[in-house]
């Protein structure tokens, strides 16, 4: 039998009638290593509750849990680190990993399977927690400089990690899996970072089958490599539950700074519920899957910021993928965020280029700058300019591969009339022909390509208004990989 993870100085232990291990001689230098809980009378076959013994010995000792199943019949209140023999990324409870299996019956999130009630540095590593009712997986109510590494939390119905202690840099969590229950549980939040707790770090964490990935209500929170799949593991066939799904929620002036963030299939991927909140994200990935098939709701938004909240959203790099018109209509109906600062984010969908789809085809009001290349004869489309706003204007410079340049200007008054002008900027424009084709809420610009010669055109936007703007071809992709903005009108004899 493996007694200790590391060598330590220890006296003999005697077992009393109550089942507790009683020290004949005091344990010494316990901080050098970790006490094996099996030597304290704990069973690792799931047959007996372990909470009383663990709560007694965590007062003084760091505890090591060899692989096996440990029945947690009461909340565990840690005062020193614990370590297991293996983290699992799968909810199946097996003896070859360390599993703390809860038998706690709790109607709310007032306790966790593991709770922090001390200011000691408490690490939790290499083990798994399976919740039973509405208890949290890990609950932090007191300051603790904590490292959580290699921990799985499963069957979670309330909160995977609930952090309400006051202080800075309380939690460094990495290499974790948090799974929700399979029956549309609520609130079912992966990580809750409450008021007073700031500068926490979360790295390499997957949150699956949950309703809300993260709720942050304090200071600055940092995240990297977060995969947040909001959706019941039995699918989002409950419309009311689906409407409550969120990737990351900020409130109370909280800031989230992250990289490689994947808020997968949420009614709101990012949400700010209070004033002065901010998202600053490097590389984002959003992909709308098939798990919303049974829901009747089609009005999801990528970013939700209620009026008056004065929130900030900055994203640089990534990809947002949503469904197209048919046969699988997308639930994410609005990705256009005029007040956000979004750069270098690809938008992948199958919606046709029509005025009614501006919210699904544009991301922000960064000025589009792109190039198109044709090998076709005819009038080649070089710009799609939305004119959805009641009044508005847009200007840009169209440059052809031979150096010819035109200033393109569109203006719409309250009568709905769109004035369209193109002004040659140099003598190379002679012999080139431009054509405007107007549709409801959309103006298309074509350039005549000469016979037996390719055409390359560049469009640089210099000014535009909300809902009166060019479509950015450089960031637009289809889910199937084909180009749908390329269009050629036949030459007329």
CB 400 within 8 Å of CB 390? no
Instruction: List domains and CATH numbers for the chain.
Output: 13-361 (2.160.20), 369-489 (2.60.40)
pLDDT of residue 238: 60
Alpha-carbon distances of 350 from 75, 334, 479, 485, rounded to whole Å: 50, 14, 6, 11
pLDDT of residue 7: 36
- What SS3 class is residue 41? coil
pLDDT of residue 11: 36
Sequence-distant (6+) residues with CB within 8 A of 17 are none
The token pair at 380 is 């080649």
171: Cα separation from own chain's centroid: 19
- Spatial separation of the C-alpha atoms in residues 161 and 489, rounded to whole Å: 58
Low-confidence ranges of the chain (pLDDT < 50): 1-31, 493
**Over the range 107-126, which residues count as b (16 or more CB within 10 Å of their CB) and which as e?**
eebebbbbbbebebebbbbb
* Cβ neighbour number for residue 137 with a 10 Å cutoff: 29
430: Cα separation from own chain's centroid: 51
- Spatial separation of the C-alpha atoms in residues 226 and 213, rounded to whole Å: 9
Does the global pTM surpass 0.75?
A: yes
- What SS3 class is residue 52? helix
327: Cα separation from own chain's centroid: 26
pLDDT of residue 2: 38
Sequence-distant (6+) residues with CB within 8 A of 153 are 128, 129, 131, 137, 138, 160, 161, 176, 177, 178, 179
Counting Cα atoms < 13 Å in the Cβ hemisphere of 431 gives: 9
The token pair at 434 is 């431009």
């Amino acid at each position: 039998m493996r007694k200790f993870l590391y060598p330590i100085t220890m006296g003999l232990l005697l077992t009393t009638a109550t089942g507790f291990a009683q020290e004949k001689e005091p344990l010494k230098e316990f901080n050098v290593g970790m006490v094996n809980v099996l030597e304290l009378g704990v069973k690792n076959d799931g047959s007996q509750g372990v909470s009383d013994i663990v709560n007694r010995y965590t007062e003084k000792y760091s505890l090591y849990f060899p692989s096996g199943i440990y029945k947690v019949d009461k909340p565990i209140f840690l005062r020193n680190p614990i370590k297991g023999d293996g983290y699992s990324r799968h909810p199946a409870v097996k003896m070859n990993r360390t599993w703390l299996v809860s038998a706690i019956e709790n109607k709310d999130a007032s306790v966790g399977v593991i709770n922090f009630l001390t200011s000691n540095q408490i690490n939790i590593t290499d083990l798994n927690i399976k919740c039973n009712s509405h208890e949290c997986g890990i609950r932090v109510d007191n300051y603790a400089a904590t490292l959580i590494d290699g921990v799985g939390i499963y069957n979670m119905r309330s909160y995977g990690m609930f952090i309400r202690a006051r202080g800075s840099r309380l939690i460094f969590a990495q290499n974790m899996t948090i799974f929700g229950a399979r029956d549309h549980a609520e609130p079912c939040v992966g990580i809750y970072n409450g008021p007073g707790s700031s500068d926490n770090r979360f790295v390499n964490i997957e949150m699956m089958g949950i309703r809300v990935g993260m709720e942050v209500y304090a200071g600055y929170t940092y995240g990297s490599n977060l995969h947040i799949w909001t959706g019941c593991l039995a699918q989002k066939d409950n419309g009311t539950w689906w409407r409550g799904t969120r990737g990351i929620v900020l409130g109370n002036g909280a800031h989230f700074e992250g990289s490689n963030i994947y808020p997968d299939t949420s009614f709101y991927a990012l949400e700010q519920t209070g004033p002065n909140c901010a998202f600053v994200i490097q590389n984002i990935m959003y992909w709308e899957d098939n798990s919303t098939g049974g829901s009747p709701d089609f009005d999801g938004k990528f970013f939700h910021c209620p009026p008056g909240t004065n929130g900030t959203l900055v994203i640089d790099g990534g990809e947002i993928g949503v469904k197209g018109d048919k046969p699988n209509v997308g639930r994410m109906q609005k990705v256009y965020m005029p007040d956000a600062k979004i750069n270098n984010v690809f938008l992948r969908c199958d919606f046709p280029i029509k005025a009614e789809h501006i919210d699904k085809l544009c991301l922000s009001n960064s000025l589009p700058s792109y190039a198109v290349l044709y090998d076709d004869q005819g009038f080649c489309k070089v710009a799609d300019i939305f004119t959805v706003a009641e009044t508005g204007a847009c200007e840009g410079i169209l440059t052809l591969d031979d150096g010819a340049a035109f200033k393109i200007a569109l203006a719409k008054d309250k009568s709905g009339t769109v004035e369209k002008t193109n002004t040659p900027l140099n003598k190379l424009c002679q012999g080139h022909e431009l054509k405007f084709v107007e549709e409801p809420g959309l103006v298309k610009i074509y350039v005549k390509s000469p016979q037996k010669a390719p055409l390359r055109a560049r469009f640089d936007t210099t000014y535009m208004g909300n809902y009166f703007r060019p479509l950015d071809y450089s960031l637009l992709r289809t889910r199937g990989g084909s180009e749908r903005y390329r269009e050629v009108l036949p030459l007329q004899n």
